Structure 1
């Protein structure tokens, strides 16, 4: 293969990323649920004909690092691809992450090839896929309790929809019309992605377009290896605690080894998978490690299969960070992924003290609310709530933002109140919740929901008794908390993990953690 022209390489980087971006815009604009339309809980990416990542949009880190496993699972399940095929899946043990994240994979044929030249994929968090509680993030102990499980299977075969599969799925969810609309939006995004890739091939030739997909992967690999060559060689260890229901904790241990332009993350010694839903499948652990390396290698290197190649992840099978069926995993995707990032950053603090920040809030503060509207229709709402970013070696942490493995927006109050029978009566920063230091950690948020009908509320959160850590003398941030205000005015402190049906008139107050401070505080509190 001839060497790449550097100008064309940069053009193709933006061309491929533009395809993924336009897929995401299409998915957002055509979706039905506020979770996708407003919060942007979605991700889109382009893969080559071998199923290797070529480009991704700047969507959700926890989705994108794991999506190669989804494409691999889809390819393993399909013997022969045809124009119009769409595979759908959400099984965490067959290419998925957790059940609400529904992934679609489609082949793209360009030129006269009878095998796919590319694949396009999308992942969207569906606000309900069945299971024990509305929102499909129940306090489960096995996967079947969490919702409808879809192994890799064709939803469209040569353009013909599998109506039996669709109806079976819709019959097992609480909000079937919303799910139907969101699935259709994902397919629309794939149509746009395929059209744009085919147009590139028509304009520039199939050989050039496919060649530059490989050039781009090689370029990213070279840049990551060059960046890693500047990191001090050695093995760096760290352990962090993940809070479990009932007051217990599980330990995540990692050893990061830098050597020969590569980095290996070994999670040997991490505790075994737990009885609850905080277990993570291996692609989630890989996502967290890829994310950290990307962030510490300038953050400007195109993310694709090449940028992942110098990064190896080892995790004991059956552990908290490499769970096996039938363990529940709903919280592993959202909570354990955050703690894996904290552990990996803690280890690399020893190698790169001038780059690694203090701990961010370390949780997604997952809240689901569901029930029946006065007109008899069902509703299911899901949201992650931002908090504080950890302060860095030369900057304060941001306040009231999503950090690390989540990259969503909030649901705007106006959109939320239009779609659901509850309202937000307070939404503001949580003063002084960030850790003190030479550089202050970011503050968390306060968000108060007033329920207008009886509602089942479920919350998965961490960093409650344990606080996000500071660095180099900076103080820890304030941990999070949740408070229930009963209709009669009584207040009740709620645990980090709870699920219960609340009467109309209840108010649920969520206070999210701040970020850790960096460096010892000065006497006057100024940097």
Structure 2
């Protein structure tokens, strides 16, 4: 069949339209969610896919979600024959997911009397608890079964009606069922918003024109990436970095990549074969996360307003060895793979790219999301609570510009929970929150500083930390100094009303008492160039 010619103006309008739909889905999800993690921190992502499951638009949300979400959509399509009004739910990391707290919903969009979906919409949100051993479902587990309820692709909505039995199955396996139900309802609503807007869009185009616009949008993204690759030097560029440990042993965990750039073919290969074998702790990453990190790196090469579509990945060949820390297999725990290993994969890819295009690549940023989860019984309501938050760090400096202080970088794009919202929702008191002065690496351009945050517990609780960059500091480039390592301290309130300090390892869980204070100090970014 001859493909219609697409006018560039029509393509630009279509690109903006589908992107705005993904953004509106996100706004609807944020407004209607119950948990501070979604409502305040915006720990969610939304995207639009064509009828073949190819992503054609992403909201400006979480990179680690967006790059891996297409694999969840394809898993849902393969597993279920979704009908009109159906919505699938899943969180299985081994079916395109990232880790269990990230719950994905997928909805087909049918136009008129067509028998096959014209589009799919999907969203992914991080739930503050999905069961498991540790409140917040983000602890140093040793197998995935300790991390929470694992949901394969199943229908949560059938023909427009919520499947109450399936919903109850999920809610009976979490610590905060009312909050989870509210957030799940918000995700369902966001899917329906996306469906309505896509049907309005489809009514404006003939079917052949719509297909041509989708194909051209994918091709346009591909052309942009290939144009950048043609400007790069040919060769193999190798780099490695390390995660501090897996939370079970003290052994560092290597991540290594060999980037092969072929400007003549406008192609790139990322080979992670030298990375460590999967470990007992929860820092294993599934292949979807590694692919997501590669997607992010390629997207960084092109203009900010370029369409984020499946076409970006066409020039990439990804090589991973099954059973490694970047391509883990069941029953490996993976909670930290999504948040910590994803950051280190980006650091390694950036370090390799710096060998090819040194003036375009920044020094390492904080390299950890400094995940903190706290759970217990709130004395105000006498009901369970689970708090989850990532804490920002310093951005790495780049040629000509200092790094930004106290900002989420690379695979995370969330906000912080405002102090007022935090103290309202949880039995906490924030005693200190500010920049960690002097933590950025020195250089011709200085790395951004990390943050210092002190939280006083007003109730007994279990405190769990999943963080990195304690031993291997964020690297500087071009002669710049490394950023300062991260640190966490638990100040215990004893009977004499004084505080005894315990420096916490990066991956641990502790029982704490009311009056104890957690001090979290995040890493600074690396410096760029000699001072």
With normalisation by structure 2, the TM-score equals 0.97
1:479 corresponds to 2:485: yes
How many residues were matched structurally? Answer: 520
Residue correspondence of structure 1 range 60-75 to structure 2 within 5 A: 60-75=62-77
Q: Which residue of 2 aligns with 1:177?
A: 178
Q: What's the secondary structure of 1:93's corresponding residue?
A: helix
Distance 1:132 1:62 in 2: 24
Distance 1:165 1:337 in 2: 31
Distance 1:54 1:409 in 2: 25
Q: Which residue of 2 aligns with 1:345?
A: 350
1:257 corresponds to 2:260: yes
Q: Which stretch shifts more, 54-63 or 492-501?
A: 492-501
Q: Deviations over 1:179-202 (max 9, x none)?
A: 000000001001110000000111
Kindly state the Cα deviation for residue 3 of structure 1 after the two structures are TM-superposed.
1.7
1:111–1:206: 8 Å Cα contact kept in structure 2? no
Q: Which residue of 1 aligns with 2:530?
A: 520
1:144 corresponds to 2:145: yes
Structure 1 unaligned residues grouped into runs of 5+ = 522-527
Kindly state the Cα deviation for residue 26 of structure 1 after the two structures are TM-superposed.
0.2
Q: Which residue of 2 aligns with 1:524?
A: none
Residue correspondence of structure 1 range 151-170 to structure 2 within 5 A: 151-170=152-171
**Residue among 276, 281, 285 paired with 1:280:** 285
1:201 corresponds to 2:202: yes
Q: Which residue of 1 aligns with 2:437?
A: 431
Q: Deviations over 1:164-218 (max 9, x none)?
A: 1111110010000000000000010011100000001112333323321221111
Distance 1:247 1:130 in 2: 27
Q: What's the secondary structure of 1:203's corresponding residue?
A: coil
Q: Deviations over 1:464-503 (max 9, x none)?
A: 1221010111001100000111113111111111101100
1:43–1:123: 8 Å Cα contact kept in structure 2? yes
Q: Which residue of 2 aligns with 1:511?
A: 521
Q: Deviations over 1:19-49 (max 9, x none)?
A: 0000000000000000000000000000000
Distance 2:304 2:228 in 1: 11
Residue correspondence of structure 1 range 445-484 to structure 2 within 5 A: 445-484=451-490
Kindly state the Cα deviation for residue 62 of structure 1 after the two structures are TM-superposed.
0.2
Q: Which residue of 2 aligns with 1:316?
A: 321
Q: Which residue of 2 aligns with 1:106?
A: 107
Structure 2 unaligned residues grouped into runs of 5+ = none
1:270 corresponds to 2:280: no
Q: Which residue of 1 aligns with 2:414?
A: 408
Distance 1:96 1:475 in 2: 36
Q: What's the secondary structure of 2:417's corresponding residue?
A: coil
**Residue among 366, 376, 387 paired with 2:382:** 376
Kindly state the Cα deviation for residue 297 of structure 1 after the two structures are TM-superposed.
2.8
Distance 2:205 2:298 in 1: 34
CA RMSD of aligned residues (A): 0.9
Q: Deviations over 1:347-394 (max 9, x none)?
A: 111101110110000000000011001132010010000000000011
Q: What's the secondary structure of 1:354's corresponding residue?
A: helix
Distance 1:269 1:220 in 2: 30
With normalisation by structure 1, the TM-score equals 0.97
